[in-house]
A = this chain, B = another copy of it.
Amino acid sequence: MKHTAFFISDSTGITAETLGKALLSQFPKIKFKKLTIPYVNSLDKARETVMQINQVSRKDQAKVLVFSTLANPEMRSILADCDGMVMDFFDILIGPLEEELQSKYAKEVGKLHKMPDLKTYDARIAAIDFALNADDGINVKNYKNADVILIGVSRSGKTPTCLYLALKFAIRAANYPITEENINISHLPKDLIPYRKKLFGLTITSARLHEIREQRRPNSSYAKLAQCQKELKTVEQIFKKEKIPYLDSTAFSIEELATKITQIKKITRHGL
């Protein structure tokens, strides 16, 4: 018996989906079919959504679950009349908040992921420009303006993490590859020496690195397991010897890596 879960939002649906999926993942034995409907931001769209839910509900044997973040009380009350079990994150908390704050809420829709102030927005864009202009060891001269510099072997997750740090947290992250040419446990690559305090290492298991590199360049010497093992061993020795904090990217999502790096390096997150 499969449950259908809807994630409904008057904005992007990203938060309803993330939180809803996290709740569902606590029931690993149950199968869920997941559907997201963003921008339910008018009474008509709310009614349309109810029809969609009811249609699924008539076919499904199991109860349809509905996770929503709707700021508008009229839309919420339309949705509440559908045949699914509706859990609205706003509905549940806005009442207690109004009471505590002794204030009525604004009922503005689309506030999640709404355009933040221009200053924050500009900082995000500047951080993205920075990451693109300091990717993969280019423009070392920009490192003086970096908040953090990620180092590690090729395909250890540096670029996605830098981009996420920029996009989500407005953090200026550069990245520098440790390659066969500059790998040397007796000293750091020359480019990095002045910025020792900004360095953060990424490592990865050799099996996973081998797999990723094989996808990229099948049967190359670059992708060979022995080559991956050798590079990773050296790079981890450097991290330890130079006391560079580092994480294994194998088990963490990009969001987790980015968050852990800001925590360990004590860098302020902006822009959310």
**Are A19 and B19 touching (Cβ within 8 A)?**
yes
**Are B255 and A101 touching (Cβ within 8 A)?**
no
How does the 8 Å CB contact mask read for A232-271 relative to B, with 1 for contact and 0 for none? 0000000000000000000111111011100100000100
Cα distance A39–B251 in the bound complex, in angstroms: 15
Report which of B3, B15, B28, B122 forms a contact with A22, defined as CB distance below 8 A: B15
Give every chain B residue within 8 A of A121 (Cβ-Cβ): 253
A interface residues, tally (CB under 8 Å): 74
Contact of A111 with B163 at beta-carbon distance under 8 Å, contacts A12-B256, A15-B18, A215-B122 already known: no
Does A106 touch B at the CB level, under 8 Å? Answer: yes
Cα distance A69–B22 in the bound complex, in angstroms: 10
**Are A256 and B26 touching (Cβ within 8 A)?**
no
CB distance from A98 to the nearest CB of B (A): 8
Give every chain B residue within 8 A of A272 (Cβ-Cβ): 14, 17-18, 21
Q: Copies per complex?
A: 2
CB distance from A89 to the nearest CB of B (A): 6
**Are A103 and B63 touching (Cβ within 8 A)?**
no
Does A183 touch B at the CB level, under 8 Å? Answer: no
**Are A11 and B101 touching (Cβ within 8 A)?**
no
How does the 8 Å CB contact mask read for A39-69 relative to B, with 1 for contact and 0 for none? 1000000000000000000000001010001
How does the 8 Å CB contact mask read for A154-179 relative to B, with 1 for contact and 0 for none? 00000110011001100000000000
Cα distance A121–B257 in the bound complex, in angstroms: 13
**Are A87 and B96 touching (Cβ within 8 A)?**
yes
Cα distance A87–B98 in the bound complex, in angstroms: 13
- Identify which of A124-132, A144-152, A217-225 touches chain B: A124-132
Give every chain B residue within 8 A of A63 (Cβ-Cβ): 100
Residues of A near any B CB (own CB < 8 A): 3, 11-15, 17-19, 21-23, 25-30, 36, 38-39, 63, 65, 69, 71, 85, 87, 89-90, 92-94, 96-97, 100-101, 103, 105-108, 111-116, 121-122, 124-125, 128, 132, 135, 159-160, 163-164, 167-168, 212, 215, 251-256, 258-260, 263, 269, 272
Which 8 pairs between the two chains have the least Cβ-Cβ distance? A26-B105, A12-B259, A113-B255, A22-B112, A115-B253, A22-B111, A26-B106, A25-B111
